[in-house]
Structure 1
């Protein structure tokens, strides 16, 4: 990469600022991407070599060079401002946790995921866990690279673009910091115009909601159920996070996809798989819910909506049909529910109504974040909209390398939240799909068994489709 990276001051977009205002110790806004590199035949890494790599790489993104600045009393949204005091060693660590086992590495990844970020400095960290033994489906010694940054700076799809630069072959450009901060007059004008913009946004949103109601009444749009039965995973978070991986051979998934009698997506297969495993787990514990469970499934709005924010995700709510025991019937139902959810999410009336957040003043966004933080779930019989998160990001198609070590697997780790204590992140690279599961021991003391149920649920679905998957 040639040229120069110019890093200047920039006002956060409201969709990005929500991740700042919503964050509490019990509701983190961390993006955590994890890369597994084959270290077979390589000497152990040194701190100096890792720092040299980091110093050579920070020119790839403004993320590494700016921090958040709040205005007094949060009269306006925060700003990204350049940080000329960046010290790379303060953001980068080389470690070999515990005995260097995969179990110790998993614990360290969980700690990294569940630690709140310091937003008084550039909100990113790089943790390198070297010489890790026993990583599932990885050969020999493994170097694990954990990249963590704040959600206000970007989403999972943006992470894919960033990793292509960080772990690619093109050199990073030079960095030039420019410091054009907002002056008092500009701030006053922006704050003064906020009520007018918000009232206008309210009127437009009201019109859009009226159109949406009409579409719902005619059956053109299907609204998700407002409440779902609460499960053990929809309680307050009172234990440390745990992190687990389940690789599934990609050829088996593609064979199941090809064998389906109707056109299905890989995401349909994974939603059906998780729904079956979740239902089986709760049933084994005598906690079969009274009704079906649902998942929040983030959907990228790139190419759909003209948002200019760093985060361009919308939250689809997809019924998992956990009350349907037959895997083929559940797949058909999930396929229909996912299609309806996507149709709703991309409908122009929904998009117009959703633009209200773009006109909301900072004080209102902050108040909404505070109100959400007051919610508690331990005594709730139902939860709003969904019971779990199932996120997926585009597959890794580029050849990625870290310090001469080829990256064989890229996954992610989602922090758990009050009311959402079981979360799944689906990634794929090479010949495997990986489900990364985060939860905690009070909600799930036997995550390995849940992994077996996930694999069993997928294999049962594949067998029902006649895909010929073989049990391991």
Structure 2
């Protein structure tokens, strides 16, 4: 039996039927690499069951403390049944990408049973008309409660459920798993009451450790090394407000080589900066299409992992937050990525000064009753519809393996992330990288994005605008290099030497600007 951390308990308290708090992935496999060229559902079931003991998350359930006086506990489920957690369906013909996205969104919108280990895998067959996907392929939709994993520990779970080769010769560690009986409700209440008495002492000790970071942060604010403008100026958009029970999902895939070309648009930019700028451009195109583009930039929350090496493959969340404006008020892709790069540096400086690890540790000390009551009131009175937002979306970057991986012998050929939505945030993005490709995936509330096809086009158009700007910069740079390499004409000898005055000539660097490509006026709903 193990007690949850504070941030894990926050996700439990935020759970409601219309806004379940789980995250997941849509994984696509090619079974032609398996032993017999195909994979049956029972093969997948057997493969997963043989590797359950390699993850702390798979066979534990959450048990809540009476009256919510303390954080819930993780207990190894004595009634665990893998067939409850693994389901099997097929798409009707023609089995195209749009059908897969609709089915994934519907399944993802349903809450998990929190009386059992909080995860589900759904195998989806019938993917016969998806471009680039071989016939006979299948998908696996994963759902895991956010209290159990964050983005990084989710990758650890992915590693547990996959192998580096398509054979089954891997030697697995011994399964020493033992079920546990449910803890006594009276005992949990007594421990919770005792912990509540000691909580002020723990909070004081945590504040003492966090004090140096707070001083550094205050000093940086005074010196204007960073500011809170990203939080203070976030506009209210259709992406904010109370979340409905309905979800939309779609994704776009790009070549990693193009990302590296785009990075040249802004000195010091990272892959994450590029994707933040692309998302900012897509939100700009979408809002502008509906005549709702705000004058100030939309702002994202970007989770930062503070998980150490010795915390790999452990349950729970080890994350802090970084807040970055996405430059949606800037029409030029080149100017936007420069803006985002500068703002990201500021946000990282503030997080570093405050101490990302200290921020995560502080979140563990919030009293459980306060979190539960606060979440209940926030939802019941629909405060998200009435208060000014501090963010407009979430963008989380989850790197995947750079080499192919396999599950039950089937090769993973597509990886797409899905994100939970909570009141106040109706749109979330997951950036996934895998084998030289990078995908921008979004999960949205239907009331915010009723036309996911069109928002997907906006992502594509924003990316192409960045790529066009990179191509223009390359052309300009190459032209200047060629001009500089042209040999000068030979001068005729002068009979009488003349002493000439030296004159310094200053040249101006010309940078071609490229505006975002406009989104199509017509789109499918």
Name the TM-score class by shorter chain.
Answer: 0.7 to 0.9
Task: Give the 3 Å change call, closer, same or farther, for CA 91–116 of structure 1 in structure 2.
Answer: same
Task: Give the 3 Å change call, closer, same or farther, for CA 352–239 of structure 1 in structure 2.
Answer: closer
Q: 1:372 aligns with which of 351, 373, 378?
A: 378
Shift of 1:445: 3.1
- Residue 5 of structure 1 aligns with which residue? none
Task: Give the 3 Å change call, closer, same or farther, for CA 445–15 of structure 1 in structure 2.
Answer: closer
- Residue 261 of structure 2 aligns with which residue? 255
Deviates more, 1:198-207 or 1:325-334: 198-207
Q: Is 2:110 aligned against 1:115?
A: yes
Q: Is 2:26 aligned against 1:34?
A: yes
Q: CA RMSD in A?
A: 3.0
Task: Give the 3 Å change call, closer, same or farther, for CA 103–461 of structure 1 in structure 2.
Answer: closer
Shift of 1:93: 0.8
Q: Is 2:103 aligned against 1:98?
A: no
Q: Is 2:80 aligned against 1:68?
A: no
Q: Is 2:179 aligned against 1:173?
A: no
Q: Is 2:246 aligned against 1:240?
A: yes
**Separation in structure 2 between the aligned mates of residue 211 and residue 398 of structure 1, nearest angstrom:** 41
Task: Provide structure 1 residue ranges, at least 5 long, that are not aligned to the other structure.
Answer: 1-8
Task: Give the 3 Å change call, closer, same or farther, for CA 205–28 of structure 1 in structure 2.
Answer: farther
- Residue 497 of structure 2 aligns with which residue? none
Task: Give the 3 Å change call, closer, same or farther, for CA 360–232 of structure 1 in structure 2.
Answer: closer
Deviations 1:210-269 (A, max 9, x none): 653333112233223324211122133336211111111222222222x33512111111
Which has the larger strand fraction? 1
Check the 8 A contact 2:234/2:389 in 1, yes or no: yes
Check the 8 A contact 1:246/1:436 in 2, yes or no: yes
**Separation in structure 2 between the aligned mates of residue 172 and residue 130 of structure 1, nearest angstrom:** 31
**Separation in structure 1 between the aligned mates of residue 390 and residue 284 of structure 2, nearest angstrom:** 17
Normalising by structure 2, we get a TM-score of 0.79
**Separation in structure 2 between the aligned mates of residue 143 and residue 112 of structure 1, nearest angstrom:** 16
**Separation in structure 2 between the aligned mates of residue 56 and residue 309 of structure 1, nearest angstrom:** 19
Check the 8 A contact 1:47/1:93 in 2, yes or no: no
Q: Secondary structure at the match of 1:115?
A: coil
Question: How many residue pairs end up in the alignment?
Answer: 460
- Residue 494 of structure 2 aligns with which residue? none
Q: Is 2:15 aligned against 1:23?
A: yes
Check the 8 A contact 1:160/1:396 in 2, yes or no: no
Q: 1:313 aligns with which of 316, 319, 335?
A: 319
- Residue 449 of structure 1 aligns with which residue? 454
Structure of higher CA gyration radius? 2
Check the 8 A contact 1:30/1:414 in 2, yes or no: yes
- Residue 462 of structure 1 aligns with which residue? 467
Q: 1:272 aligns with which of 261, 265, 277?
A: 277
Check the 8 A contact 1:26/1:418 in 2, yes or no: no
Check the 8 A contact 2:241/2:423 in 1, yes or no: yes
- Residue 197 of structure 2 aligns with which residue? 192
Task: Provide structure 2 residue ranges, at least 5 long, that are not aligned to the other structure.
Answer: 476-516, 518-525
**Separation in structure 1 between the aligned mates of residue 155 and residue 227 of structure 2, nearest angstrom:** 32
- Residue 501 of structure 2 aligns with which residue? none
Shift of 1:194: 2.4
Deviates more, 1:442-451 or 1:43-52: 43-52
Check the 8 A contact 2:274/2:337 in 1, yes or no: yes
- Taking the TM superposition and a 5 Å limit, the aligned residue runs for 1:322-333 are 322-333=328-339
**Separation in structure 2 between the aligned mates of residue 370 and residue 68 of structure 1, nearest angstrom:** 19
Deviates more, 1:181-190 or 1:316-325: 181-190
Shift of 1:425: 0.9
Q: Secondary structure at the match of 2:133?
A: coil
**Separation in structure 1 between the aligned mates of residue 9 and residue 385 of structure 2, nearest angstrom:** 31
**Separation in structure 2 between the aligned mates of residue 407 and residue 353 of structure 1, nearest angstrom:** 36
**Separation in structure 2 between the aligned mates of residue 314 and residue 190 of structure 1, nearest angstrom:** 24
Q: 2:145 aligns with which of 142, 150, 153?
A: 150
Shift of 1:435: 1.0
Shift of 1:155: 0.7
**Separation in structure 2 between the aligned mates of residue 462 and residue 159 of structure 1, nearest angstrom:** 31
Deviations 1:7-34 (A, max 9, x none): xx11111121111112222432202122
- Residue 3 of structure 1 aligns with which residue? none
- Residue 2 of structure 2 aligns with which residue? 10
- Residue 297 of structure 1 aligns with which residue? 302
Deviates more, 1:450-459 or 1:438-447: 438-447
- Taking the TM superposition and a 5 Å limit, the aligned residue runs for 1:125-164 are 125-164=120-159
Q: Secondary structure at the match of 2:259?
A: helix
**Separation in structure 1 between the aligned mates of residue 437 and residue 206 of structure 2, nearest angstrom:** 45
Shift of 1:43: 6.6
